[in-house]
């Protein structure tokens, strides 16, 4: 091609639409290039970003363009080997992509715009370690626990028992310290022992005071508990726990990646929802469903497993319901969710991404484990474009 013809051709191509560019690339037969790169405009520039030297050749400006900073990947089916493709029963093709590979311009709902870390409310409230704890266990919660604990002592005619707010906070601090120093395998009396004990315990509180608080500690009004248990199996602590979870969600903005899993809190307490799990180090306990930030392991949302849940929509599986409930505060915010194989089911993968039921024929039997969902979101709400199972 002569230089003049080449200049006119470049000028003509500079006005092509993206659809024309893609059609031109697909029409080129393999091996046609003579070694020179095919020059095509990546994005339409404004008139002030192009200069014409008079010969019909368009000279691109050196100023940065959006196409340089945010390239849009174009992946054709021919570039993917058959071994990385799976076809569902309805003809939908799922393509396995390695982690980190660009998948083109993301949808609006798949872009994380919030910087991870403590929220503005938490930053303004935290000035020392105690104030950071008060972001999660706020002053109103402490007041309620204090009231219910004192009421339980009065109900048991413990006239000599009296607990203050500072003593209650000191008690919680010692419980944390006991867990950090291996309290599970050590007798309570040993923490106040002159030979084996920790001096912090002796300087903070008398051993008998610690025992009394532990005996009378309550998180609800026992006089109304029977009526509340008819509708809430977790009524003995649900008021405090729900407030704690709400504060946890409001105090921290997670990163792009969130994980959902179960956690067994060991206890031998006799209640209707104590679980036995043979594959756990502690066989008995209360099971919680937990959503946590992958980078910091911060708990973002949680709720207990209490057996049959009448509020679950008919036909919705437990795994789908758990993920959708835990991710409710983060829908439409571009988060990726990682789950274990318990949640790794066909319906869950699509329903979690879109917040709506899809035809199971869209998913092949093995495509639910790791797939990139390419279907349209419609009116549903998206958590992320990618669901991973490990």
Q: Please check whether residue 284 is in contact with residue 274, taking contact to mean a CB–CB distance below 8 angstroms.
A: yes
Q: Report domain extents, the chain.
A: 1-66, 72-115+257-390, 122-224
Structure tokens at 23: 């059609």
What pLDDT sits at residue 189? 87
Backbone φ and ψ of 168, nearest 5°: -65, -40
Backbone φ and ψ of 242, nearest 5°: -65, -40
Neighbours of 387 (CB within 10 A): 25
Q: What is the pLDDT along the chain (390 residues), one digit of tens a residue?
A: 555 565 566 656 666 776 777 677 667 665 444 444 455 454 444 444 444 444 443 444 444 444 444 444 434 444 555 557 788 777 777 777 666 555 555 555 556 677 888 999 999 999 998 999 999 999 999 999 999 999 999 999 988 899 999 999 999 999 999 888 877 778 888 899 888 888 999 999 999 999 999 999 999 999 999 999 998 999 999 999 999 999 999 999 999 899 999 999 988 888 888 888 888 888 899 999 999 999 999 999 999 998 888 888 888 888 888 988 999 888 878 788 888 777 765 344 444 443 333 444 554 444 443 333 333 333 333 333 344 334
Q: Please check whether residue 135 is in contact with residue 126, taking contact to mean a CB–CB distance below 8 angstroms.
A: yes
What pLDDT sits at residue 375? 30
Alpha-carbon dihedral sign for residues 150, 156, 161, 167: negative
Structure tokens at 86: 């799976």
Q: Under DSSP, is residue 59 helix (H, G, I), strand (E, B) or coil?
A: strand
The vertex-216 CA angle with 303 and 140, nearest 5°, equals 55
Place of tokens 């120093």: 181
Distance of CA 285 to the CA centre of its chain: 24
Backbone φ and ψ of 119, nearest 5°: -75, 160
Neighbours of 75 (CB within 10 A): 13
Maximal C-alpha separation, the chain:
105
Cα separation, 153 vs 160, in Å, equals 9
Distance of CA 257 to the CA centre of its chain: 6
CB within 8 Å of 246: residues ≥ 6 apart:
none
Alpha-carbon dihedral sign for residues 300, 304, 310, 312: positive
Cα separation, 333 vs 120, in Å, equals 18
What pLDDT sits at residue 271? 82
Of the chain, the end-to-end C-alpha distance in Å amounts to: 55
Give strand pairing partners of 51.
Answer: 59
Cα separation, 227 vs 229, in Å, equals 6
DSSP string, 216-235: H--SS-GGGHHHHHTT-TTT
Element (H, E) at 265: strand 257-266
What pLDDT sits at residue 179? 87
DSSP 322: H
Place of tokens 């021919």: 78
């Amino acid at each position: 091609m002569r230089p003049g013809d080449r200049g006119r051709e470049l000028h003509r191509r500079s006005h092509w639409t993206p659809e024309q560019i893609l059609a031109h690339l697909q029409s080129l037969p393999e091996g046609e290039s003579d070694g020179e790169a095919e020059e095509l405009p990546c994005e339409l520039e404004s008139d002030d970003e192009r200069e014409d030297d008079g010969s019909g050749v368009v000279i691109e400006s050196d100023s940065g363009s959006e196409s340089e900073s945010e390239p849009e990947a174009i992946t054709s089916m021919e570039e993917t080997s058959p071994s990385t493709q799976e076809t569902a029963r309805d003809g939908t093709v799922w393509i396995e992509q390695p982690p980190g590979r660009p998948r083109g311009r993301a949808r609006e709902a798949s872009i994380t715009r919030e910087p991870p870390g403590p929220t503005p409310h938490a930053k303004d409230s935290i000035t020392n370690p105690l104030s950071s704890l008060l972001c999660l266990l706020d002053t109103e919660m402490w007041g309620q626990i204090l009231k219910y604990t004192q009421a339980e002592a009065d109900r048991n005619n413990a006239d000599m028992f009296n607990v203050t707010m500072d003593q209650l906070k000191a008690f919680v601090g010692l419980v944390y310290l006991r867990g950090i120093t291996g309290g599970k395998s050590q007798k309570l009396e040993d923490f106040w022992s002159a030979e084996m004990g920790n001096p912090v315990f002796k300087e903070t509180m008398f051993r008998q005071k610690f025992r009394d608080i532990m005996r009378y500690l309550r998180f609800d009004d026992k006089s109304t508990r029977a009526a509340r248990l008819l509708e809430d199996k977790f009524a003995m602590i649900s008021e405090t726990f729900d407030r704690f979870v709400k504060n946890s969600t409001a105090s921290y903005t997670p990163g792009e990646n969130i994980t959902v899993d179960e956690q067994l809190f060991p206890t031998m307490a006799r209640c209707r929802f104590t679980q036995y799990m043979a594959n756990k180090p502690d066989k008995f306990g209360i099971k919680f469903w937990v959503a946590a930030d992958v980078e910091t392991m911060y708990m973002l949302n949680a709720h207990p497993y209490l057996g049959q849940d009448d509020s679950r929509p008919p036909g919705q599986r437990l795994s789908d319901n758990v993920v959708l409930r835990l991710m409710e505060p983060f829908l439409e915010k571009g988060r990726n969710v990682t789950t274990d194989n318990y949640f790794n089911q066909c319906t869950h993968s699509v329903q979690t991404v879109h917040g709506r039921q899809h035809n199971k024929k869209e998913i092949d039997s093995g495509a639910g484990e790791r797939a990139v969902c390419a279907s349209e979101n419609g009116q549903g709400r998206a958590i992320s474009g990618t669901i991973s199972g490990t």
